[in-house]
Structure 1
Amino acid sequence: MQLEGKIALITGGGQGIGRGIVDRFLEEGAQVAILQRRPLDSELDKHAGVLGIQADVSDSSAISPAVERAVEQFGGVDILVNNAGIMFERSVSEIRPEEWDLMIAINMRAPLFLTQAALPHMRRRGGGSIINIGSIEGLAANPSHAAYCASKAGIHGMTRALAVDLGKDNIRCNAIAPGWISSELSESYLDSQADPAAILEALNRLHPLGRVGRPEDVGDLAVYLAGDKSGFLTGEVVVLDGGRTARLPLPF
C-alpha cells in the first residue's frame, strides 16, 4: 500500500472529486480526516479509518480547531488535500463583491490557512505533501467564469510559492488541474440541459481519450503526489483532462 501509516486531511471529501480522493487514499492504507460543512454519509461515517469534521472553511476561525481535531484523533498530519471549492457563473458586469469575496475565501484563502495550521504537524513528522485542486480554468477560461478562473489561477501560483517556501522542511506542494470530471454537480448540470445525452456525447468528443474524467482518476494521481514515490516532485501543476487542452481546435 502506497499510503500505509499516512494521515491525510481532505476538505470537501464527501462527494465528487474529493470522494474519489478519499476512496483511493483509504484503499492505499491512509487514515483520513474529512473536513466539510455537511455530515458524512453512513458509509464513510462508519469507516474505522475516517474522521468527519463539520466546519465551514470560509470561516477562518474554524480552520485551526478543525486541524487540531484531526491531529487529536490520528496523531498528526502527513498529507493535506485542499479540494473544497465553489463555482458560479456571472458575467463580469454582474459579479457582486460578496460573491467575489466568498469565492476567494473558499477557493484561495482556506487553502492557505489550512496549510498554515497543518505546518507544525508536518514539520514534527519530518515533512509532508500538500495537494491543491486547481482547474484547467486556471489556465484557460469558459464564459462567465472570471471569478472562478481567477481563484484557480491563484491556487496554481500559490502552489509554486508554497513549494519554494516549504521545500526546506521536506514539505512538497503540487496542484492537480482537472478538466471535466463526472460528479453529482456535473450530472445535475447536464440534466438541466435540453438534451443531456447529446451534450455528454459532445463532451466526450472534446477529449482525445474519448471520455470525460472520473473522480477516481483524480484519486489515482493524488495517491502518487501524496506518496513517497513522488518525493522529488514539487511546485508543479499537473493537468488531468484526458488531453482536452492539448488538442488544438479545428475550424471545421
Structure 2
Amino acid sequence: MELEGKIAVVTGGGQGIGRGIVQRFLEEGATVAILQNKPLDDDLENDDRVLAIEVDLMDISAATAAIDEVAQKLGGIDILANNAGVSAEWTVADVTVDQWNFMMDLNLKAPLFLAQAVLPHMKARGGGSIINTGSVEGFASNPFHTVYSSSKAGIHGLTKALAVDLGEIGIRCNAIAPGYILTALTEAYVASLPDPAAAWQNIDRIHPVGRIGSPIDIGSMAVYLASDRSTFVSGQVISVDGARMAKLSAPL
C-alpha cells in the first residue's frame, strides 16, 4: 500500500472532495485525522483509523492547536491535505468586505497557517507532503466568482511559494485543481436549475473524457502526491478536470 504507516491530516474530510481524499488515504494504509467544523458520519466516526477533531478552521489558534493534538495522539504528521473551502456567487458591484474576508480566511489564510503548524511535526519525521485543493477557477472564472477565483489563484501561488521555502527541509507542496466534481453541492446546484436533465448532459459534454469527475478521482491524485512515488514533484498545480480546461469553445 502506498501510504502504509503514514499519518495524514485532511481538512473538510467528511464530505465531498475531502471524503474522496480520506477514502483513498485509508485504502492505501494511512491513519487519517479529519479536521472540520461539524461531526462526521457514523462510518468515519467509528473507524479506528480515523481521528475526528471538530474545529473552526478560521480560528487560527484553534486550528493550530488541533494540529498539535493530532501529532500528540497519532505520533506525528506526514501529510497535510488542505481541502476545506467555501464557494459563493457575489457580483463585483455588491460584494462586501466581510464576504471577501470570510472566503479568504477559510480558502487561503487557514491553509497557510495550517502548513506553518505542521512544520515542526513534519521535520521531526524527516519531511512530508502538503497538498492544497485549488481549482480550475484559479486559472479562469465562472460568472460572479471574483472572490472565489481570487482565493483559488492565491492557493496556487501559495503552493509554489511553500514548495520553494520548504524544499530544503524535505517538505514538498503541490496543489490539485479539480474541475466539475460530483458532490452533494453539485447535485443540489444542478437540481435548482430550470432543466436539470439538460444541465447534466451539458456537464458531460464539456468534458472530453465524457463524464463529470468524482471525489475518488481527486483522492487518487492526492495519494500519488502524498506517496514516495512523487518525491521529485513539488511546486506543481495539477488540473484534474477531464481535459475541460484544454478544450476550446466551439465557434458555432
TM over 0.5: yes
**TM-score of the aligned structures, taking structure 1 as reference length:** 0.99
Q: Report the equivalent of 1:21.
A: 21
Deviation (angstroms), 1:164: 0.3
Measure the CA separation in 1 of the matches of 2:94 and 2:70: 39
What secondary structure, in the 3-state scheme, does the structure 1 residue paired with 2:251 have?
coil
Measure the CA separation in 2 of the matches of 1:24 and 1:188: 25
Deviation (angstroms), 1:118: 0.4
Matches within 5 A, 1:101-116: 101-116=101-116
Q: Report the equivalent of 2:79.
A: 79
What secondary structure, in the 3-state scheme, does the structure 2 residue paired with 1:172 have?
strand
More moved, 126-135 vs 70-79: 70-79
What secondary structure, in the 3-state scheme, does the structure 1 residue paired with 2:222 have?
helix
Confirm whether residue 221 of structure 1 aligns to residue 240 of structure 2: no
The one-letter code sitting in structure 2 at the alignment partner of 1:127 is: G
Deviation (angstroms), 1:177: 0.3
Name the % identity.
57
What secondary structure, in the 3-state scheme, does the structure 1 residue paired with 2:93 have?
helix
Measure the CA separation in 1 of the matches of 2:236 and 2:88: 26
Number of aligned residue pairs: 252
Deviation (angstroms), 1:63: 1.3
Q: Report the equivalent of 1:192.
A: 192
Deviations 1:163-197 (A, max 9, x none): 00000011000000000000011111011111111
The one-letter code sitting in structure 1 at the alignment partner of 2:155 is: I
- Unaligned ranges ≥5, structure 2: none
Q: Report the equivalent of 1:244.
A: 244
- Unaligned ranges ≥5, structure 1: none
Deviation (angstroms), 1:162: 0.2
Deviations 1:76-126 (A, max 9, x none): 000000000001101101101111001000000000000011000000000
Deviations 1:190-232 (A, max 9, x none): 1111111110100100000000100000000000000000000
**TM-score of the aligned structures, taking structure 2 as reference length:** 0.99
Q: Report the equivalent of 1:143.
A: 143
Measure the CA separation in 2 of the matches of 1:73 and 1:180: 36
Measure the CA separation in 2 of the matches of 1:25 and 1:113: 23
What secondary structure, in the 3-state scheme, does the structure 2 residue paired with 1:29 have?
coil
Q: Report the equivalent of 2:118.
A: 118
What secondary structure, in the 3-state scheme, does the structure 2 residue paired with 1:56 have?
coil
Q: Report the equivalent of 1:177.
A: 177
The one-letter code sitting in structure 1 at the alignment partner of 2:112 is: L
Q: Report the equivalent of 1:89.
A: 89
Deviating 4+ runs (over 2 angstroms): none
Deviation (angstroms), 1:65: 1.1
Q: Give the root-mean-square deviation of aligned CA atoms.
A: 0.5
